[in-house]
Structures are given as C-alpha cells and as structure tokens.
Structure 1
Amino acid sequence: MLDPRHALDPRETVIFREERILVLPMEEYRAELTAHLDAVAGRWRPHPLRLARELLARPLPVIPVTFPGTWGVPAPFEDFAGQIVYPWAEAMPASMYATWWAHGSPADLPYDAFWKADRDAELVYFHGFDNVYHWSVMDLVLLLAHGDRYIRPYASVCNEFYELEHAKFSTSRNHVVRAGDLVADVPRDIARYYLALTAPERERTNFDPAELAAHPLAGEWNELAAVVDTLLAGRDFQEPLPVTDEGRRADARLAARLRACFAPETFSLARAARLIAERTAELRDTAAGFAAPGDFLLAVRTLLAWSAPILVDVGRRAAEGGVDLSLSGARDTVVEKIAPFRLPRLPESTGTHG
C-alpha cells in the first residue's frame, strides 16, 4: 500500500498489524485446473478459453477467504471469529444455496445436495467475460478443494460485453437501459427476441433502440398466424390432421438445427433467433407447398416449441391453449397426426403485451 491513510480522519496515524486469515492457495491446484480446462476446452468459446489459459500461464495467487471487517457475511469458522467472508468466495456456496432454493428448499436435504457428484447432474455456466477469472479459476478451485465431492462444470457459455450507443453499460454513469423500463415500452417477447438476436456471443455487440422498434418479427409472425387461421377455417379442432413421411423428415431437419442452438457445445441464442425469423417468413410464404395440412401444422408447432424459450409469453399462451410443446416427444416418437391449434400472436404495439 502506498501512502495509506485513515479513512475517517486523515490526521489519524495508520497502524500496521498482522492478522491470521483463512486463504485459498490456488497454485496448489494447478495440475487439476489444467487437466479440467483441457477436458472441457471444446465446449468453451475461443476468447474466454484464451484468457483462462493466459491466467494459468502465470503463478496463481493466494486468495483470502476471510479477512477482518464488519460489513459482510460473518466467517462461520471458530478460529476466525470476528472476520467476514471475502465476497468473491461467497459465489460458489451461494450458487449451491440458490440451486437448493430453486428446488423448493427441501428441508430433508443439505444446501449443497444438488451439486454433489453422486447426483449425476450436468453443470453448465452462463456468464460474462468479466467473470472468466472467477468461474474458470477461483470458483473451480473451491470445488476442486473438496476432492470428488462436487460436480465440475461440463461447459461454459460466456458472452462478451454488450454496449449501449457503442459504450459499455454502466450503472455508475447511468448509461443503462433497465429491464423494467424496456418492457414498459416494448412487448416482453419482442425485447427478449432482440436481446437474443444481438447477444454478444463472440464479440461485442450494440443495443440499438431504433433497430429494436423497427424489427419485423412481430408482423411476420402474425402473418404466419393468419395463414394458420386460414388453413384451419371450417375444420373440426377435435379431428387431428394426418402427417406424411415427407413432413416428418422435414420437421426433423428443422428440429435438429434449432436443437443445436441450445446444446451446451453449440449454444447460441443469436443463431436460434435468426433461425426463428427465417423459418417464420419461410412458413408464411410456402404454406401452399406442403404435401398435407398436417405437415404444415407440424412445422409450425416445432417452430413454436423451439421459440418458447425466447418468446416466453407466446409459449405460455400456446401451452395454456393445449398445444403440445414437449421437445422430447417431438424427437422420440413418430408423429402420425397433429391436433389443430391456433398460433398465438405477438403484440405489435406498446400497451398490448400485458
């Protein structure tokens, strides 16, 4: 420390003293860190992988786990009473607790139950580039320090920085677009779609409000919904429509392309968003070219099912209307017939998205 001074009264004399704290000696886990990174490298994006390797190319620091202080979580270790837990060391136990809480806070299970290796779970990280150090090194060491007790990350999906007016989002400079303000002006599904489409997956991208407002997806989606309405006009919705072999093959090809967008190895919301828009326009324009109405309806249902993770409100309304959106059923069983359904529309203007 250079020229340290008292924070409350600069005139006070600063006194140095030694303290015994709990630390994490990360260098001791270098071999295990390197082996793990080599094993998962194919499931990392290039830029964060390069940073992780650069971090391992130099000596790894000793990280404090506890230190003297009063603001924070009190250290739960008898020998370090009066200290607090280093905030960045909280991330891993906090993640374990959050997983336990998300499963309904089962009183008969410990907080770390869902992270234990014997549960045969698959762990995938989703984070930003500024947290590569923590998730790929420090927090991984926290897992490694427990031997084989816990699962280790199978894949890491890391985004670059997202910019606003070609500058980093910054809450301190109030250079932000807050989620609540965004969905007050733009239907939630459209906002989520645009954010997916422009996600900074491999390089920085820019949030453009004018581009968001002018995006044609809602109009094209609703035109497709009108085509579905025309196709089903006068039909008995209790009478399923047959699906041909040709329709099933075409549908399987589309499902495979969309499924790859959500697999850990090839995860890409931006690619999924582009495919959704392309397929929406294609189905709108080629409905008459399908061999059978059931083939067309099957293609629309697959588009709807794979759009649901992004277009959450459309997906919810479809499910509430009885549409089968199960992805496992679509790939594990042969669809002989499909029940007629209406494609929920996307709101095209503010105030209609509820």
Structure 2
Amino acid sequence: MKKNYLITAPPPTPNGDLHVGHISGPYFAADVFARYQTVRGHDVVYASGSDQNQTYVVTTAERLKTNPKELGIKYHYKIRESLDKCSININGFLLPDDQHADLVQQFIFKLYKLGVIKEKEKEYWYSEELGRYLFEAYINGFCNNCYAETKGGICESCGHPNDSFNLPLASATGSKSTIVSKKVKGLYFEIENYREALKRYLEPIYQTMRPHLQKLLKDLLSKPLADFPISYPSSYGIPVNIHGYEDQVINVWAEMVPGLMGASVIDKDRNPVDIDKLWKNKSTTKLVQFLGFDNSYFFTVLHPALLMACNEDYILPSNFITNEFYLLDNFKFSTSQNHVIWARDIVETITNDELRFFVSYTNPELFQSNFNASDLKVVVKNYLTSHVDNLIVIYNKIYKEYDITQAFPDLSEAFKQNLEWFYEEFEQAYHEDSFSVKKGVNTLTLYLQWLVDYARVKEETQEVGFANEFIYGLLALVSFSHPLLPDFSYRLKSGLNIQSPIVWKMHADTKIGDLNPITSLF
C-alpha cells in the first residue's frame, strides 16, 4: 500500500555554516530514509528550514559585530548550499518570512483562546549592561541534573530542560557585570496537564526508540513537568501578537511546531498552503522525526503536547530517530576554537559519497563517535573503493567477453536466495522501526565483497549464466546503494545504461541499453 511519509529534521541555527558534525546527524539520516521510501514508491516530504529567530544568532552576531538578521539570512543560503553539496535533498527548507510569522502567531493564538496557555508571573535574570532579560543563549550556568555547563532552556549534555532563572552560577553571555532578578508576566503552557496523555502516546513506540531516548523519557515523565514558557521578554523573534504582550516574542521551540507544518507544504513560489491535508491524514501519513539527542525534550514531549492541546486531531510522530554527538579527533566540534571541518570544504577533496560512507560507518547512533581524516581514507579505501574497483574490472571483462541478455534467464536459485537475504537486511536497516545507517553501510560493504567473490568463483568454474547474474547483481547494487550513496547509484545506473527510474527491486524488465565500458564510479 502506498503511504505518505512526512519526515522532519530540526531547523539548523543559521549562525554559521554546517560542519561535518552537523552532516553526520539528523539531516543525513533523514535523507537516507527519505530516499529509501521514495524508491519503495511512497510519497515523501522532507521538511526543515533555518531557525532564524534563535538567540544564538544574536550572540554570534554580537561577537562578529554584525546584524543578526543579515547573519541569519546569509547562513540560511550557505547551509542550503552545504546540504546540496552533500546530496541532502530537503523538499521544504523554509526561510521564515511574513507568511511563516502569521502561521506561528495563529497557532499560538489558537492555544491562547483554548485556555491552555496561561498568564503567569515568574522571575528572570536581567543584565543592566546588555539591557536584556537572560534566557536561552543569553545566559550561562550549570545543569541542575548533571552539573555540566549549559545555556538556558535545555542541557545539551543530559537532555533535561531547565529554568534559566534557577541555573547555578548564572551569568550573562557577553558580559561580566552583575545580573539582577526581575519579575515578568509571561505566557506559559502547562505541559503537566498532558503528562498522562504523553505516557499513553509514547508507551507503544518506546521499543522503536534508541536506549538513551527511552531512558530520558521515562525519567522526564516519572515526575511533574515544569511549565513551558511560550513567550519571552525580548524584541528579537516573532511578536506574540496578543494584547498585553506586545513587548514579548514567541519561544522558538514553540514556533517550530507550526514552522515545520508550514515547511512541509511550501512550494518554491510560497503559494497558499493546505496543512490539514497532510497533518490530519492519519490513515496514510506517517510522521517520522530525526533529531539530535540534545533536542529530545522539545520534539518528544513539548511538540506532541502542543499538538494534543490544539484539539485538531493532528498526526503525532510515529518514530523518533536520534543521534549522539559526533566528535572531531575526540573533541567536540568548535567554531570559536577553530576545531572544525566544514562540510563544503571536505567535499572539495573527496566525493560526497565517500563522506556519506564514512559518516555512516562511524555514525553516532547510540554513542558519541569520532571523525578522523586519516581513518576516513583507510575506511573508504578498504571497504568501499577497493571493492568497487574490483567490480569494475569484472564488469569490463564481462562486457568484452560475454553476450549479455536483458531477460536474465539463468539466475540460479542460490543466487536468488543470496540476493533476497541482502534485500531483507537492507530493508531492516532502512525501516523506521529499526533504522540504522551503520547497519546499512555494513550490509553494503558485505554485499560489495560478496558480489566480487561470487563472480570470481563462478568465472573460475565457467559456470553458465554467471555473467547475467553479475549484471543483475549490479542492478541490485543501484538500489541498495541509493539511500546511502545516491550519486554513486546514479553513476552506476548511467554506466549500465539503465533507462528506467531507480526502484527498490530492479526487476528483469528494467530497460537497459547497450552496455558500455566503465572506467570509474568515483
């Protein structure tokens, strides 16, 4: 049955370009999943955008002595270019505009009118020197849960949300001056009212989650959930547009819910959108969300609760696929300390397929993992390019010496059984309930080696039909490699002169023109 897959990844903060650590995470994984579902014949929308209203854009702009809005727009386009260079194809990559702001304001106003957003007075730290209230990127402190250094809103280390005012040893970002406390009236979402509903919703899908996320959610939902600030006293961001809160903006993590809705249905001309058609179609649409573990609270607790609170019968995510931090030479990527490799730079020296292969091989799915340039060269050579070179040698010999028929009449039972085993392994790797690019790349490596060995053994025994089987095996490789290595897949398809579009199972009726010699696939 044909399905609609709605796939999202968190909008990246446009305070800089994407480095290899970013590429290893949800953007790449979601692209692999989207490509797999597309060749399976399903309708796929992959949505994200740039998080223009993040306070991190402001603090970076202040450090660079530039305008935050100009900085955000500049890096929106750079991020888009970097994604393209890595063959990460996001259908709806939203640059927030007036239409986006209207959609967000309407979403928040709906919740306000329903009475699920309440006015409350709470304390904030305030910097007289900087002239602003301190929250999110504007404040530094330590996590009350794990004691790691943190900013406001969320602790990247343990994933627990925090109240910026209660951070131990709090200080203002960009200032060493004394901070003072001030009481401020704001709008808050009483998320605790949805804790039991969240438990019921999440319980059936725990088994599809990675262990770290399971543990975090069970911990978070075992005790009362703190009120979530819908508005912040600030001038940078989307105005609340509710009487009495003209001097406040909407929290970007609440903005993200309607923002992703809008991103999922935009077209290049920003025509009017029909969100309900996609987000209320429970019978056929599956919402699969990819995210870094550090964003887990927002996507797995806050966002579903906000959707529940709308009373609009919106679809909720069926799967959350997380990743941990990717390190560079065993230390965190750091732009400020120049400990970084930019995605656009590395694909100038290697193909994006080679980069995608290595970040799959070393992917931080369950634990932090490490990027090392020397390791990349060894891994790619030993497990990818050497096998492919061997396949090219065998193919060119077959091209010269054998008469290849398109009907593939001589596929042995043993060959078909082996091929079916690989199909099942890849399908498990790419399925939303067991998704793993590490399993995908390991299966791909195994398949490359198996196809080389199979052809060599059959050639030595001069077994009838081995040449047809080998070409059929290359057809399967076009499909198998496409989610992980799309450019390689297209080059192999071209080299085999395949006239048909790529589908998951390249059947015997695939249209193939006259074979040509292949010199290289990288």
Secondary structure of 2:285 counterpart: coil
CA distance in 2, matches of 1:12, 1:162: 36
Given that 2:407 and 2:509 are in contact with CA atoms closer than 8 Å, whether structure 1 keeps it comes out as no
Tell me the residue number matched to 2:425. Answer: 257
Q: Which amino acid aligns with 1:211?
A: D
Tell me the residue number matched to 1:37. Answer: 202
Given that 1:294 and 1:338 are in contact with CA atoms closer than 8 Å, whether structure 2 keeps it comes out as no
Tell me the residue number matched to 2:436. Answer: 268
Secondary structure of 1:248 counterpart: helix
Q: CA deviation at 1:29?
A: 0.3
Tell me the residue number matched to 1:231. Answer: 398
Given that 1:100 and 1:106 are in contact with CA atoms closer than 8 Å, whether structure 2 keeps it comes out as no
Query: Does 2:217 correspond to 1:52?
Result: yes
Secondary structure of 2:265 counterpart: helix
Query: Does 2:458 correspond to 1:294?
Result: no
* Aligned positions, number: 342
Tell me the residue number matched to 1:138. Answer: 302
Tell me the residue number matched to 1:200. Answer: 364
Choose the corresponding residue for 1:93, options 247, 258, 275. 258
Structure 1 ranges of 4+ moved more than 6 A: 9-15
CA distance in 2, matches of 1:157, 1:90: 21
Closer, same or farther: CA 78–44 of 1 in aligned 2, 3 Å? same
Tell me the residue number matched to 2:280. Answer: 116
Q: CA deviation at 1:140?
A: 1.6
Closer, same or farther: CA 313–255 of 1 in aligned 2, 3 Å? same
Closer, same or farther: CA 158–344 of 1 in aligned 2, 3 Å? farther
Q: State the Cα deviation string for residues 228-273 of structure 1 (Å, max 9, x = none).
A: 1211225567854324251333222211111111001111111111
Q: Which amino acid aligns with 1:272?
A: G
Tell me the residue number matched to 1:220. Answer: 387
CA RMSD of aligned residues (A): 3.0
Q: CA deviation at 1:180?
A: 0.8
Note the residue ranges of structure 2 that are not aligned, 5 or more in a row.
Answer: 1-122, 132-175, 459-463
Tell me the residue number matched to 1:352. Answer: none
Given that 1:158 and 1:201 are in contact with CA atoms closer than 8 Å, whether structure 2 keeps it comes out as yes
More strand by share: 2
Q: Which amino acid aligns with 1:27?
A: E
Secondary structure of 2:341 counterpart: coil
Given that 1:244 and 1:336 are in contact with CA atoms closer than 8 Å, whether structure 2 keeps it comes out as no
1:147-162 equivalent positions in 2, closer than 5 A? 147-162=311-326
Q: State the Cα deviation string for residues 202-252 of structure 1 (Å, max 9, x = none).
A: 111111110112232112212212211211225567854324251333222
Q: CA deviation at 1:104?
A: 5.2
Q: State the Cα deviation string for residues 65-107 of structure 1 (Å, max 9, x = none).
A: 1232211112244563332111221222221122112x65673
Given that 1:297 and 1:338 are in contact with CA atoms closer than 8 Å, whether structure 2 keeps it comes out as no
Given that 2:326 and 2:369 are in contact with CA atoms closer than 8 Å, whether structure 1 keeps it comes out as yes
Given that 2:129 and 2:177 are in contact with CA atoms closer than 8 Å, whether structure 1 keeps it comes out as no
- Identical aligned residues as a percent: 25
CA distance in 2, matches of 1:130, 1:15: 28
Query: Does 2:439 correspond to 1:283?
Result: no
Closer, same or farther: CA 7–80 of 1 in aligned 2, 3 Å? same
Q: TM-score, normalised by structure 2?
A: 0.60
Q: Which amino acid aligns with 2:483?
A: P
Q: Which amino acid aligns with 1:266?
A: S
CA distance in 2, matches of 1:12, 1:194: 47
Q: Which amino acid aligns with 1:218?
A: T
Q: CA deviation at 1:131?
A: 1.0
Query: Does 2:128 correspond to 1:6?
Result: yes
CA distance in 1, matches of 2:420, 2:268: 36
Given that 1:189 and 1:346 are in contact with CA atoms closer than 8 Å, whether structure 2 keeps it comes out as no
Closer, same or farther: CA 167–329 of 1 in aligned 2, 3 Å? same
Larger deviation, residues 293-302 vs 31-40: 293-302
Larger deviation, residues 156-165 vs 5-14: 5-14
Secondary structure of 2:433 counterpart: helix
Q: CA deviation at 1:318?
A: 3.6
Closer, same or farther: CA 299–116 of 1 in aligned 2, 3 Å? same
Choose the corresponding residue for 1:322, options 498, 504, 507. 498
Secondary structure of 2:348 counterpart: helix
Closer, same or farther: CA 301–79 of 1 in aligned 2, 3 Å? farther
Larger deviation, residues 229-238 vs 217-226: 229-238
Choose the corresponding residue for 2:353, options 176, 189, 192. 189
CA distance in 1, matches of 2:129, 2:386: 58
CA distance in 1, matches of 2:410, 2:256: 50
Q: Which amino acid aligns with 2:316?
A: R
Q: Which amino acid aligns with 1:225?
A: I
